[in-house]
Structure 1
Amino acid sequence: MNSLRSIFAKLPSGLLYSAVILSAMYGCGTSQAKTDAPPPAALPVIKAVTLPTTTFQDFSASVEGTRDVEIRPQVDGYLTNISIDEGDYVRKGQTLFTIDRRPYAEQLNNATANLQAATAALENAKINVDKLKPLLSNNVVSDVQVKSAEASYNSAKANVAQAQAQVEAARINLGFTNITAPSDGYVGSIPFKTGSLISRGMAGALTTISEVKDMRVYFSLSETDFLKFKEKYPGNSVAEKVKGMPEVELILADGSVYPEKGKVETVEGQFDKTIGAISLRASFPNAQGILRSGSTGKVRVPTLHAAALVIPQEATFELQDKVFVYTVADSNKIVTKPLTISGKTSNYYLVTDGVKPGDKIVLSSQSTMMMGGLKDGVVIQPQMVSIDSLLKAKPLL
């Protein structure tokens, strides 16, 4: 204090007046800063609650028709007509392709002529037998002659049967020149044109007919997911557990949800060692023909939770691959807690550990983190938000 007085004593009168004023202002500012401390930050806070909810898990899937039937020729020849086009929907029995029928019509004519000749020979042999039998009783001819005539008759009879078989084979081959659809479905690619020479042993098929009234959708579970699947659903066997699964959804390639729900039907008997996964098959109705064989998508499998502790995702923040929340403890002090996540919806986390029902949680943790974050022990002014109003703004699903 004496040093300050000595300094002021040496200053000119004008400077001394200014120094006194600055000293007074500095003292007032310090006092004002001490008395006007900022109030605790007002932040929205909710209570953790348990709610019935449904979570979803998506799996990549491929779509196939109930039957994908390859159409192959059963006789050789030139294509004279293609009655359908790629992508057409055809009915069972509808003509698809026509093969040149003239060679097979001639084969049928030839077989028919052979049958007629064999039938005539049979009649002649029968006449000969009928003529010799009375003569044998009168000892005009020998027994050997009669037996020889009967043998000729039996041979002629066999020739007729063989000729009839040849006629039937020729008729079948002629029918094979008209190739028809084995079932309802959509036509695949057609790599051949009118005039192409085709044969029974060729490598490729004429086309493929995909039966699409009901579609089969195949997806795979990893070993971990499969173990969870066996624990999740009731039943002693895998088949019983499959029956206990809820209906599944199909997410199409554009992200839209297919309007019909499907049912998981089967699980393969073993894992694919190359990818470490096991395949499941779901069936989806396809009355409108929206799904096509060969398309892709995702199967969405729901999991029902009777009472799950749900935390809004906006109330959490991530740090070093862990999820945290700011909880409000006694005296409105902040306590940071890590969460154990068991699943999530589009807006909420399902939590198994870290907080319990009734705990108060800062709702705006993410925005708070962007502003620098809170620290343990910091006091806030809670602004309670009801879970009902939050659910209206951000649904649970």
Structure 2
Amino acid sequence: MKNLNYLFTKFGYFIIALSIIMCVSCREEEVVDKGLPLPVMSVKETKAAKNFEYIGSIEGVESVEIRPQVDGILEHIYVDEGEFVTKDQVLFKINSQPYMEDYKNAMANVNLEKAKLEKAQTDVDRLQPLIDNEVISEVRMKSVKADYQVALSSLQQAQAQAANMRINLDFTTIKAPVNGFMGRIPKSIGNVVKKTDSEPLTNLSNVNDIYVYFSMSESDYLYFERAKNDTLSKRNKVNDEVKLVLADGSVYEHNGKIDANSGQIDRSTGSITLRAKFSNPDTLLRSGNTGKVLVEEIYPNAILVPQGATTFIQDKKFVFVLDENNLAQRREIITRGRSGDNYIVDTKSLSPDDRIVISGLDKLASGIKINPIQRGQLTSNL
């Protein structure tokens, strides 16, 4: 009896194993018949953008060096580094006592010259009746009038000197010429400041709008200029607006426009410097920041292929294209750049409605039959 049970148990295991083998065999035959199931997409023409990146330096639209116009001891600092100040706000005070004394001395000299002029005028007025009555000769009158002209010139010279002393006195109070943010202040109260100092007292930047200066190669410049001015052909266009990528990798929320260039090619580098203007209403950007300027080339009819749908052999890129029998064929593609996570593919490489395998490429070789799992088509990321 035990032997009979043993035989039944063995037979049961054999039946189960045989069923599994038959099931796997059926599935393999089904795969061979229908093909390897892999996701497939149909490529279409769509609008896309290719970015050209250029390192840029950021400056305020108004960036002013604050320098002393007179020599002296720095007596007061009324503002702090990084503080926002308005036009004509007092920033620094230089000891004004020496310049006040010079001004007082100049005004005393003006008063002295005024007195001399009044005396000369009195002499002219006193002698005029005597000339009229021919009591004295006109030669005496000419001498007196000459003394008057000398006194008048001396007064004008004294007034000019006093005005100059007044200007120097006013220069001891340093005010903001524009609205903006204070830069670093290297001097401290009590330091001597001079007009000839190599370093300014501070820098003042108006950053309501900012300029980003960047350089591009001569070939890029010519390419973009032709694309910008060519309104007749169907060539790719260049976006009028540019974007700015900040140091943290984020894209600045406001777009800018290129509004100026240096006007000449730097012979040593073969590049030209351009300037883009951006609005900065939140004053997020400051002078001295850096970033990347993105210039977009617009492709009105681009074919996009996901980077993950490509393979590399040496320096060439390939995709697997399905023919009418769903057989995968490896095809070399020529790319024109990237748009987001996709390659922009030359239309000579792929045509609209071509079907490509988008994953599982490690299982593929030319001639393998595919059971396509359609994933739709790729659309622009613009």
Q: Distance in 1 between matches of 2:323 and 2:218?
A: 41
Look up the match of 2:140. Answer: 145
The answer as to 2:364 corresponding to 1:374 is: yes
The answer as to 2:206 corresponding to 1:211 is: yes
Q: Does the 8 Å contact 1:223/1:277 carry over to 2?
A: yes
Partner SS, residue 331 of structure 1: coil
State the Cα distance separating 1:35 from its structure 2 match: 12
The answer as to 2:320 corresponding to 1:307 is: no
Shift in CA distance, 325/245, structure 1 to aligned 2, threshold 3 Å: closer
For these two proteins, the number of residue pairs brought into alignment is: 351
Shift in CA distance, 219/135, structure 1 to aligned 2, threshold 3 Å: same
State the Cα distance separating 1:85 from its structure 2 match: 1.3
State the Cα distance separating 1:249 from its structure 2 match: 1.3
Question: RMSD value over aligned CA atoms?
Answer: 2.3
- Range with bigger deviation, 317-326 or 138-147: 138-147
Please list, as runs of the form range in 1=range in 2, the aligned pairs for 1:172-187 lying within 5 A after superposition: 172-187=167-182
State the Cα distance separating 1:109 from its structure 2 match: 0.9
Shift in CA distance, 272/35, structure 1 to aligned 2, threshold 3 Å: closer
Q: Does the 8 Å contact 1:234/1:244 carry over to 2?
A: no
Please list, as runs of the form range in 1=range in 2, the aligned pairs for 1:1-397 lying within 5 A after superposition: 37=29, 39=32, 40-235=35-230, 245-352=239-346, 353-364=348-359, 367-369=360-362, 373-387=363-377, 396-397=381-382
Q: Distance in 2 between matches of 1:334 and 1:259?
A: 44
Look up the match of 1:26. Answer: none
Q: Distance in 1 between matches of 2:25 and 2:289?
A: 70
State the Cα distance separating 1:272 from its structure 2 match: 2.1
Q: Distance in 1 between matches of 2:238 and 2:134?
A: 88
State the Cα distance separating 1:67 from its structure 2 match: 2.2
State the Cα distance separating 1:44 from its structure 2 match: 1.4
Shift in CA distance, 333/126, structure 1 to aligned 2, threshold 3 Å: same
Shift in CA distance, 36/217, structure 1 to aligned 2, threshold 3 Å: closer
1:343-393 per-residue CA deviation (whole Å, 9 max, x = no partner) reads: 2222221111322112111111xx422xxx422222222222212xx65xx
State the Cα distance separating 1:107 from its structure 2 match: 1.1
Shift in CA distance, 228/335, structure 1 to aligned 2, threshold 3 Å: same
Identity %: 40
Q: Distance in 1 between matches of 2:218 and 2:141?
A: 82
1:108-159 per-residue CA deviation (whole Å, 9 max, x = no partner) reads: 1111111111111111111111111211233332222211111111111111
State the Cα distance separating 1:244 from its structure 2 match: 7.3
Look up the match of 1:14. Answer: none
Partner SS, residue 332 of structure 1: coil
Q: Does the 8 Å contact 2:227/2:238 carry over to 1?
A: no
Question: In the alignment, residue 343 of structure 1 is paired with which amino acid?
Answer: G
Shift in CA distance, 35/306, structure 1 to aligned 2, threshold 3 Å: closer
Shift in CA distance, 320/244, structure 1 to aligned 2, threshold 3 Å: closer
Q: Does the 8 Å contact 1:58/1:300 carry over to 2?
A: yes
State the Cα distance separating 1:303 from its structure 2 match: 2.4
State the Cα distance separating 1:396 from its structure 2 match: 2.7
Partner SS, residue 52 of structure 2: strand
Partner SS, residue 217 of structure 1: strand
Where structure 2 has 5 or more consecutive residues not aligned to the other structure, the ranges are 1-20, 232-236
Q: Does the 8 Å contact 2:320/2:356 carry over to 1?
A: yes
Q: Distance in 1 between matches of 2:239 and 2:355?
A: 36
1:172-198 per-residue CA deviation (whole Å, 9 max, x = no partner) reads: 111011011111111111111111111
Give me the TM-score of the superposition, normalised by structure 2: 0.86
Give me the TM-score of the superposition, normalised by structure 1: 0.83
State the Cα distance separating 1:53 from its structure 2 match: 2.4
State the Cα distance separating 1:220 from its structure 2 match: 1.7
Q: Distance in 2 between matches of 1:224 and 1:323?
A: 26
Q: Distance in 1 between matches of 2:352 and 2:304?
A: 9
Q: Does the 8 Å contact 1:48/1:360 carry over to 2?
A: yes
Ranges of 4+ aligned residues in structure 1 off by more than 3 Å: 32-38
State the Cα distance separating 1:226 from its structure 2 match: 2.1
State the Cα distance separating 1:232 from its structure 2 match: 2.3
State the Cα distance separating 1:74 from its structure 2 match: 1.0
Partner SS, residue 325 of structure 2: helix
Question: In the alignment, residue 194 of structure 2 is paired with which amino acid?
Answer: S
Shift in CA distance, 244/307, structure 1 to aligned 2, threshold 3 Å: closer
State the Cα distance separating 1:273 from its structure 2 match: 2.8
